[in-house]
């Protein structure tokens, strides 16, 4: 799928929108629950809160998607590389709790309790879920809400009273909201624009570690390593685990190229002159952190050779020009 296709879907939803729904994600003890939020008085025609929030989110959505090139592909999250300003779709087998809650809002919005100032508290809010669209087509946004966004009344704050030309003490907490979001749900697909923030927000480490272990199992079956168990030592490193996940999801090498051919490749390519991996002819032995990283690059085929100059390059990002062939 290309960016332009996603943009068209988003534009259609925004053009046909008929309102905005806001939900708070609350942290109570160790559990997270979702509450629907009343943000406007329907009987008060002068209350523009709902309209202003809708316009604020719409502007950010438009700016976010307009920053991508129409001709770029939407990339698989499992194959994420070092490129910047890329849009990814979530393709891992398990969903983080935060993303599950977005789907829950769409399917069970009428069953959710309303946020109550007598039973709930603003300082329990950890995220906002926003729904924009109509009954048929909607986009759902997830936004992390940080403690700094809540101005507590225990700090002495003043607010102007223009008609009396004076200041008075603020008697209630104030919740600040900006309209940025970290990921969104559109037609049952979750799109991520900032992987680093997504990893920090979501319970992602456990999920990516589980996916990485599937790569280790696959590597073990191919029998290309003498000591495959050493890869487990690096799974605490999310970046390494994500790269390892690409092996399971998208490797063009593992199980497709004979082991002996792979070993011979490392003897010839310039990258492995500086980053050697020990071998016995048919299997590798990973005895350093550097050799583990080099092995993962090898399994992900992160090397290019120019047909024009014959120069060999290390590839930080690449598109498959034969996709669909």
- Pair 238, 112 in one domain: no
- Pair 22, 118 in one domain: yes
Whether residue 293 lies inside any domain: the answer is yes
Per run of 10 residues, the mean pLDDT along the chain (length 325 residues) is 93 92 92 89 76 93 93 86 84 90 87 90 92 93 84 73 80 84 94 86 84 93 94 90 87 90 91 90 91 93 75 65 44
Whether residue 78 lies inside any domain: the answer is yes
Instruction: Tell me the HSE value of 278 on the side-chain side, using a 13 A CA sphere.
Output: 7
What residues does 32 pair with on adjacent strands?
27
pLDDT for the residue 36: 93
- Pair 228, 296 in one domain: yes
pLDDT for the residue 162: 82
- Pair 234, 185 in one domain: no
Q: Where are the alpha helices (DSSP H) in 235-288?
A: 238-250, 259-268, 271-274
Identify the domain boundary among 177, 202, 227.
202
What residues does 140 pair with on adjacent strands?
131, 185
Whether residue 323 lies inside any domain: the answer is no
- Pair 176, 74 in one domain: yes
- Pair 193, 233 in one domain: no
pLDDT for the residue 196: 83
- Pair 244, 309 in one domain: yes
Whether residue 325 lies inside any domain: the answer is no
Whether residue 213 lies inside any domain: the answer is yes
115 Cβ contact list (under 8 Å, min separation 6): 24, 26, 35, 36, 37, 38
Whether residue 197 lies inside any domain: the answer is yes
- Pair 226, 300 in one domain: yes
- Pair 171, 265 in one domain: no
- Number of domains, the chain: 2
| Domain hosting residue 237, numbered range | 206-314
pLDDT for the residue 323: 47
- Pair 231, 195 in one domain: no
Whether residue 324 lies inside any domain: the answer is no
Identify the domain boundary among 186, 202, 218.
202
CA angle 76, 214, 264 (to 5 degrees): 85
Residue 151 to residue 192: CA distance in whole angstroms: 29
CA angle 277, 278, 284 (to 5 degrees): 85
With contact defined as beta carbons under 8 Å apart, do 177 and 151 qualify?
A: no
- Pair 42, 157 in one domain: yes
Whether residue 288 lies inside any domain: the answer is yes
Identify the domain boundary among 156, 185, 202.
202
pLDDT for the residue 62: 95
- Pair 192, 272 in one domain: no
pLDDT for the residue 246: 87
């Amino acid at each position: 799928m290309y960016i332009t296709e996603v943009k068209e879907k988003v534009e259609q939803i925004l053009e046909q929108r008929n309102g905005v729904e806001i939900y708070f994600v609350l942290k109570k003890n160790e559990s997270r629950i979702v509450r629907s939020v009343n943000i406007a008085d329907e009987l008060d025609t002068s209350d523009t809160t709902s309209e202003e929030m809708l316009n604020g989110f719409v502007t950010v959505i438009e700016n976010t998607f307009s920053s991508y090139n129409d001709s770029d592909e939407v990339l698989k999250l499992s194959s994420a590389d070092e490129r910047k300003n890329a849009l990814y779709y979530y393709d891992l087998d398990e969903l983080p709790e935060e993303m599950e809650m977005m789907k829950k809002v769409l399917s069970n919005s009428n069953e959710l309790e309303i946020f109550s100032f007598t039973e709930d508290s603003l300082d329990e809010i950890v995220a906002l879920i926003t729904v924009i669209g109509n009954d048929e087509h909607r986009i759902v946004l997830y936004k992390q809400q940080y403690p700094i966004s809540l101005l507590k009344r225990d700090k002495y704050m003043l607010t102007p009273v223009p008609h009396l030309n004076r200041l008075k003490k603020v008697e209630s907490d104030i919740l600040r909201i900006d309209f940025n979001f970290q990921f969104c749900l559109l037609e049952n697909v979750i799109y991520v624009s900032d992987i680093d923030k997504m990893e920090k927000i979501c319970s992602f480490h456990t999920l990516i570690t589980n996916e990485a272990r599937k790569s280790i199992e696959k590597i073990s079956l191919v029998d290309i390593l003498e000591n495959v168990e050493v890869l487990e030592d690096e799974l605490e490193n999310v970046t390494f685990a994500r790269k390892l996940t690409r092996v399971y999801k998208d490797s063009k090498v593992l199980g497709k190229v004979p082991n002996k051919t792979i070993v011979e490749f490392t003897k010839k390519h310039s990258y492995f002159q500086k980053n050697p991996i020990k071998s016995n002819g048919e299997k590798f032995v990973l005895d350093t952190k550097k050799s583990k990283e080099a092995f993962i690059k090898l399994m992900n085929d992160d090397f290019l050779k120019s047909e024009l100059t014959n120069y060999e390059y290390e590839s930080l990002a690449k598109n498959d020009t034969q996709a669909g062939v």
